[in-house]
A and B are shown apart, each in its own frame.
Chain A
């Protein structure tokens, strides 16, 4: 991407650097949402259905972690993956893999906390029926998650929104390396620091457009699913 061109020109001319950046942004954020969903949905559902001492405290902390500052998450993963850190030998720092890990850390609390709320609301509705049918704990988790699946699409979108929008975590663990770990948000930060504000704003609009398209696709999938299942 060169500063001599406007963002619109980059899109219209199919600038390969721009498409590489968009591709990496989506790859990293979607992978992070997938990882976070695999951890967060079962965790949130379990928390909704189990009762143990200190449970309320866990819920408060989980809800608070939805506001985890990205730069803090980035720093934590940085120290973990640094060559001087405990996982340094993996050589993951300044790679897309490190960015996925950092965003997973950011998104997991959001998915877990919102899943907990959604599943708990459903449970209050169905607990008597499930108890009457004699469904075990794991069966309850599976049943309620399945029942909440359409609401969980919105939960995943909330997580994706967080991942796609943040710059603090991935710039620390990814390093904003051209052609390797540069994403939409880190490119916007870079163009701002180069004083090319029109290009930065243009890239911002491209990012917003992409996020809108993804939300529209998810919404369409949800509607189609609802109609199909009934």
Chain B
């Protein structure tokens, strides 16, 4: 059975090739959000970091809630997310060493160009959401404990809407990432909250457009936290700290600011703003 032996030998070789691939040194795992990954930011800044330090950053892109969970279990060396309250709790509970503000951009309310709720061009996000609710216009929620989902829930609260009680058929929580939510909104003529970076880099905009932007409450802050080595001995604390130090250094901040799509800047560095 020449053929079978060849096949088995080939498979065994394949298996052998998988094993050394797992033993790479000088690399860290960062659990981050879909927005930083899907927008292409990491593709822009990580090669710069690697060229300087030789450290390879492996990014797992998840919603903020899940990314923090990954850190809590010790499966990441650092978390890079955008939900300040959840991040502060993560540190207060002893899972993270220190929260460092890194950069910001803003959320935008996306909706069909036909604008069934008639809210286009407004700057008051609370009023826009109230109108959507009153007119029962279709709305897609991430529903996945992500940073954007947290922000959406806070905005409903700001609008005086108890969304858990008042949601109806018009409000659909899809439990998926930002891109999936935008795809769904595009194909079902619905409104959806998005971070601006994902929106700019999104390629399937179909009939969607920004309907509300510029409200101060749409601010979107990102922070980075080293997972606490005292909780999980496996955390690569020196390499992880080097990554954080670089992100908040003038060099890293410049790299973030220089990331643009079609001339439009996606993230604004603000590591020196200690209150952010």
Contact = CB atoms under 8 A, between A and B. Distances in A.
Interface residues of B, number: 41
Interface string A69-99: 0000000000000111100110111111100
A191 B4 CA distance: 37
Contacts of A193: 34, 38, 176-180, 183
Contact of A177 (B11, B59, B74, B176): B59
A224 B3 contact: yes
Nearest to A93: B75
Given A175-B60, A177-B60, A95 B22 contact: yes
Given A82-B73, A97-B19, A178-B59, A91 B234 contact: yes
Q: How large is the interface on A (under 10, 10 to 19, 20 to 34, 35 or more residues)?
A: 35 or more
A64 interface: no
Contacts of B74: 82-84, 88
Contacts of B183: 192-193, 195
Contacts of B4: 149, 221, 225
A41 to B, nearest CB: 12
Interface stretch (B84-92, B162-170, B196-204): B196-204
Interface string B20-36: 01101000010000100
A35 B19 CA distance: 14
A176 B58 CA distance: 9
B260 interface: no
B179 A194 contact: yes
Contacts of A19: none
Interface stretch (A24-32, A114-122, A128-136): A24-32
Contacts of B12: 34
Given A92-B22, A97-B18, A194 B8 contact: no
Interface in A165-185: 175-178, 180
A228 to B, nearest CB: 8
B51 interface: no
A65 interface: no
A144 to B, nearest CB: 16
Contacts of B11: 30-31, 33-34
B136 interface: no
Given A31-B18, A88-B74, A94 B38 contact: no
B61 interface: yes
Given A94-B29, A96-B21, A100-B15, A225 B1 contact: yes
Interface string B35-77: 0001000010000000000000011110000000000011100
Given A34-B12, A82-B74, A94-B29, A196 B18 contact: no
Contact of A28 (B18, B59, B182): B18
Interface centre among A89, A94, A194 (most CB of B within 10 A): A194
Contact of B58 (A26, A35, A177): A177
B14 A31 contact: yes
A95 B21 contact: yes
A190 B198 CA distance: 13
Given A82-B74, A83-B73, A3 B34 contact: no
B58 A221 contact: no
B203 A96 contact: no
A96 B58 contact: no
Interface of B: 1, 3-4, 7-8, 10-12, 14-15, 17-19, 21-22, 24, 29, 34, 38, 43, 58-61, 73-75, 176-180, 182-183, 201-205, 232, 234
User: Top 4 A-B pairs ranked by shortest CB distance?
Assistant: A193-B179, A195-B204, A83-B74, A175-B60
Given A96-B22, A97-B22, A180-B24, 18 more contacts: A3-B203, A30-B11, A34-B11, A34-B12, A83-B73, A83-B74, A88-B74, A92-B22, A94-B29, A96-B21, A149-B4, A176-B61, A193-B38, A194-B38, A195-B182, A195-B203, A196-B203, A221-B7
